[in-house]
Amino acid sequence: MTGPEKEAWSVWLAGVEYADGSEIKDRPVIVLSDRTVLCVCLAVTSKRKNIRYGYKLKNIKCVNLAKESWVKFGYVELAPDRFRCMLGMLDHEDIIGIQAWMSSYMFGKI
Protein backbone atom coordinates (compact mmCIF):
# COMPACT_ATOMS: atom_id res chain seq x y z
CA MET A 1 0.00 0.00 0.00
CA THR A 2 1.83 3.07 -1.16
CA GLY A 3 -1.14 5.43 -0.80
CA PRO A 4 -1.12 8.69 1.11
CA GLU A 5 1.54 9.82 3.56
CA LYS A 6 1.41 8.01 6.89
CA GLU A 7 0.72 10.37 9.77
CA ALA A 8 3.06 10.45 12.77
CA TRP A 9 1.73 8.42 15.72
CA SER A 10 -0.60 6.38 13.54
CA VAL A 11 -0.60 2.63 14.16
CA TRP A 12 -0.54 0.33 11.14
CA LEU A 13 -0.47 -3.36 10.43
CA ALA A 14 2.66 -3.85 8.33
CA GLY A 15 4.88 -6.64 7.03
CA VAL A 16 7.88 -6.70 9.37
CA GLU A 17 10.91 -8.88 8.63
CA TYR A 18 12.30 -11.11 11.37
CA ALA A 19 15.76 -10.13 12.62
CA ASP A 20 17.27 -13.22 10.99
CA GLY A 21 15.58 -12.40 7.66
CA SER A 22 13.80 -15.75 7.57
CA GLU A 23 10.24 -14.49 7.34
CA ILE A 24 7.98 -11.44 7.06
CA LYS A 25 4.84 -11.29 9.21
CA ASP A 26 2.17 -8.66 9.67
CA ARG A 27 2.75 -6.83 12.94
CA PRO A 28 1.55 -3.52 14.42
CA VAL A 29 3.94 -0.59 14.07
CA ILE A 30 3.82 3.04 15.18
CA VAL A 31 4.78 5.51 12.44
CA LEU A 32 7.21 8.18 13.58
CA SER A 33 8.07 9.67 10.19
CA ASP A 34 7.05 9.09 6.58
CA ARG A 35 10.02 9.77 4.33
CA THR A 36 8.17 8.70 1.16
CA VAL A 37 10.71 5.99 0.28
CA LEU A 38 10.84 4.54 3.80
CA CYS A 39 8.74 5.07 6.92
CA VAL A 40 10.50 5.15 10.28
CA CYS A 41 8.49 3.16 12.81
CA LEU A 42 8.52 1.57 16.25
CA ALA A 43 7.49 -2.07 16.49
CA VAL A 44 4.80 -3.18 18.94
CA THR A 45 4.61 -6.58 20.63
CA SER A 46 2.16 -8.40 22.88
CA LYS A 47 5.00 -10.56 24.23
CA ARG A 48 6.98 -8.75 26.91
CA LYS A 49 10.32 -10.54 26.97
CA ASN A 50 12.40 -8.06 28.94
CA ILE A 51 12.58 -4.48 30.20
CA ARG A 52 13.70 -3.19 26.76
CA TYR A 53 10.03 -3.33 25.78
CA GLY A 54 9.51 -0.87 28.58
CA TYR A 55 6.60 1.25 27.39
CA LYS A 56 3.23 -0.41 27.84
CA LEU A 57 0.50 1.14 25.69
CA LYS A 58 -2.24 2.42 27.96
CA ASN A 59 -5.08 2.83 25.47
CA ILE A 60 -4.96 -0.15 23.11
CA LYS A 61 -8.62 0.12 22.13
CA CYS A 62 -8.12 3.37 20.18
CA VAL A 63 -5.63 1.51 17.94
CA ASN A 64 -7.69 -1.68 17.73
CA LEU A 65 -5.23 -3.98 19.51
CA ALA A 66 -6.78 -6.95 21.31
CA LYS A 67 -3.98 -7.73 23.79
CA GLU A 68 -1.77 -5.78 26.19
CA SER A 69 1.03 -4.37 24.05
CA TRP A 70 4.50 -2.93 24.54
CA VAL A 71 6.55 -0.65 22.32
CA LYS A 72 9.95 -2.06 21.38
CA PHE A 73 12.91 0.29 21.54
CA GLY A 74 14.69 0.69 18.21
CA TYR A 75 13.59 1.94 14.85
CA VAL A 76 12.23 -0.14 11.99
CA GLU A 77 12.37 1.26 8.46
CA LEU A 78 9.64 -0.02 6.16
CA ALA A 79 8.92 0.52 2.48
CA PRO A 80 5.43 1.86 1.68
CA ASP A 81 4.32 -1.45 0.13
CA ARG A 82 4.73 -3.18 3.53
CA PHE A 83 1.75 -1.32 5.04
CA ARG A 84 -1.52 -3.27 5.04
CA CYS A 85 -4.07 -1.15 6.92
CA MET A 86 -4.26 1.62 9.48
CA LEU A 87 -5.40 0.44 12.91
CA GLY A 88 -5.86 3.87 14.50
CA MET A 89 -4.13 6.87 16.06
CA LEU A 90 -2.40 6.83 19.42
CA ASP A 91 -4.02 9.07 21.99
CA HIS A 92 -2.22 11.98 23.66
CA GLU A 93 -1.40 10.02 26.84
CA ASP A 94 0.47 7.32 24.91
CA ILE A 95 2.27 9.80 22.63
CA ILE A 96 3.59 11.73 25.65
CA GLY A 97 4.42 8.46 27.43
CA ILE A 98 6.41 7.09 24.47
CA GLN A 99 8.29 10.36 24.03
CA ALA A 100 9.24 10.44 27.73
CA TRP A 101 10.20 6.74 27.70
CA MET A 102 12.38 7.15 24.59
CA SER A 103 14.02 10.25 26.04
CA SER A 104 14.79 8.48 29.32
CA TYR A 105 16.12 5.43 27.49
CA MET A 106 18.32 7.46 25.16
CA PHE A 107 19.86 9.43 28.02
CA GLY A 108 20.52 6.38 30.18
CA LYS A 109 17.83 6.96 32.77
CA ILE A 110 16.30 3.50 32.22
Three-state SS for the chain is: CCCCCCCCCEEEEEEEECCCCCCEEEEEEEEEEECCCCEEEEEEECCCCCHHHCEECCCHHHHCCCCCCEEEEEEEEECHHHEEEEEEECCHHHHHHHHHHHHHHHCCCC
Q: Mind listing the pLDDT tens digit for each residue in 42-84? A: 999 888 766 555 799 999 999 999 999 999 888 899 999 999 9
Share of the chain above pLDDT 90, in %: 65
Stretch 36-42: mean pLDDT: 89
- Any idea which fold 10-106 has? SH3 type barrels. (2.30.30)
pTM of the predicted model, to two decimals? 0.87
Which stretch of 9-18, 20-29, 44-53 has the lowest confidence by average pLDDT? 44-53
